[in-house]
Amino acid sequence: MKKAFIAALLATVSSAAIADVDSVLHFTPTPFKDIELNCERDKQITPKRSALILENYALMAANNGERVALVTLRNGASGQRIYNQEHIVAVLGDCSRVLPHAFELRLDAREQRSLQIYFGKQQQPVLQLLSGE
């Protein structure tokens, strides 16, 4: 009985450790960051026009397919604005486009802030981010 319990406990611990490894985010290269991609697929998904300026971003991925971006955004308007997931679009490796998970960001005039935005589990890597500036 004791041996069976220990074996079950070890199996649970080892499977939990494997699951954690698969969900660890790591930075991914961004070779298409400053290149204009001319993809033919899913062009109808575009970021909402705004004064949001995408200053910089770094892409991250996990082995389980989770896609995340660490972005630095700036309000280019002269007044306070609220930005959300409609203002940023990710271009994926198969040239499809996806919006991030819901977020809301209130920025004062010319204010700049960094945050993580999530794109969920995707089979394809994120190639670049687009904003409606």
Contact 68, 119 (CB under 8 A): yes
Contact 95, 41 (CB under 8 A): yes
In a domain, 81, yes or no: yes
What local confidence, expressed as pLDDT, does residue 9 receive? 46
- The CATH number of residue 104's host domain is 2.60.40
Tokens of 132: 């409606």
Domain that holds residue 109: 26-131
> Could you tell me the pTM of the whole model?
0.80
In a domain, 100, yes or no: yes
- 3-state DSSP of 23-76: CCCEEECCCCCCCCCCCCCCCCCCCCCCCEEEEEEEEEECCCCEEEEEEEEEEC
In a domain, 34, yes or no: yes
In a domain, 64, yes or no: yes
Say how many domains are in the chain. 1
In a domain, 93, yes or no: yes
Pairing of β 66-75 and β 52-61:
antiparallel
In a domain, 59, yes or no: yes
pLDDT digits (tens, 9 = 90+) for 18-74: 557 888 999 998 888 888 888 776 667 899 999 999 999 999 999 999 999 999 999
